[in-house]
């Protein structure tokens, strides 16, 4: 399997560090042969809301241009892709479809962080503590996947960052998410970015072994995602290599590419 990563942020989102070029250089040091940028998408909030975790809409063209420039500069050493990490906010899906076309994006990742929008809804990663919130997470995940826009479901087990223990509600939610992903042939991202922090707080979070056992059982496909918010994270192979071993142990087929849009 080629070593690839399609989950990379940039400093534009306000909670990542490093220049765009540093991510490319770190990816080369880490032995990646293909790197996809998927920074948090901006959304055209009619209320004028300004999110603290995203670039602004007027930064989008500069972001795409920057990745394209780097793709040319480093084209003989690494293949670069440009995408976005997007929620499923139903009201903004026409805008997203138009943006994909206008910017000629290679792909969009489905980061199911909030629903129906982050203007009022809490972050699923911190606030999913009840079966009701879990149900909301699951509905949004399933409906989002059904749009056919997303190349993969990022951190599908995000709810386990705050929900504990993995109970019958989690089992049901995971079955529904995995069954939908398998039916639609959408790879699930085995996201390694939170392992270090979860280990430090002695928390069984993401990736959650019970979720991934269900993913294996439902015949899902995985893609390993670094979800890098610091370019140096791309240089160490510790979590990537562990992910390869874990997925092989679970007999989950792992892909090194995504279904990209064609123009």
- Binding footprint of Zn ion on the chain (CB under 5 A): 85, 111, 227
Q: Nearest distance from residue 126's CB to Zn ion, in Å? A: 12
Between 42 and 111, name the residue whose CB sits nearer to Zn ion: 111
Q: Is the dihedral of CA 126, 83, 68, 232 positive or negative?
A: positive
How near is the Cβ of 263 to Zn ion at its closest, in Å? Answer: 25
Q: Side-chain half-sphere of 81: how many Cα atoms within 13 Å?
A: 26
Q: How far is the CB of 191 from Zn ion (least distance, A)?
A: 8
Do 55 and 13 form a contact (C-beta atoms < 8 A)? yes
Report which DSSP code applies to 187: P
Closest-CA residue to 163 (of 190, 196, 198) = 198
Residue with the CB atom nearest Zn ion in the bound state: 111
Query: Which one, 38 or 180, has the nearer CB to Zn ion?
Result: 38
CB-CB neighbours of 101 under 10 Å: 11
Minimum distance from CB of 108 to Zn ion (Å)? Answer: 12
Residue (125 or 171) nearer to Zn ion, CB:
125
218 vs 227, beta carbon nearer Zn ion: 227
Burial of 37 (0-12, 13-18, 19+ CB in 10 A): buried
């Amino acid at each position: 399997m080629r070593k690839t990563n399609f989950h990379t942020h940039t400093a534009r989102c306000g909670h990542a560090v490093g220049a765009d070029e540093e991510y490319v250089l770190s990816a080369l040091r880490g032995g990646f042969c293909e790197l996809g940028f998927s920074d948090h998408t901006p959304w055209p909030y009619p209320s004028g809301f300004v999110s603290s975790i995203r670039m602004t809409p007027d930064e989008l063209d500069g972001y795409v241009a920057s990745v394209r420039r780097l793709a040319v500069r480093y084209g003989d050493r690494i293949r670069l892709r440009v995408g976005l990490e997007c929620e499923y906010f139903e009201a903004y899906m026409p805008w997203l479809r138009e943006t994909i076309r206008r910017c000629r994006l290679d792909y969009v990742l489905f980061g199911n962080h909030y629903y129906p929008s982050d203007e009022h809804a809490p972050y699923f990663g911190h606030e999913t503590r009840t079966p009701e919130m879990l149900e909301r997470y699951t509905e949004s995940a399933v409906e989002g996947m059904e749009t056919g826009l997303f190349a993969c479901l990022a951190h599908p087990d995000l709810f386990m960052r705050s929900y504990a223990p993995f109970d019958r509600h989690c089992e049901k939610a995971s079955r529904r998410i995995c069954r939908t992903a398998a039916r639609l042939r959408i790879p699930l991202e085995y996201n390694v970015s939170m392992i270090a922090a979860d280990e430090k707080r002695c928390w069984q979070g993401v990736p959650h072994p019970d979720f991934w056992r269900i993913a294996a059982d439902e015949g899902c496909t995985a893609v390993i995602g670094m979800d890098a918010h610091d370019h140096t994270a791309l240089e160490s192979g510790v979590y990537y290599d562990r992910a390869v071993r874990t997925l092989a142990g679970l007999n989950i087929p792992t892909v090194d590419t995504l279904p990209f849009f064609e123009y």
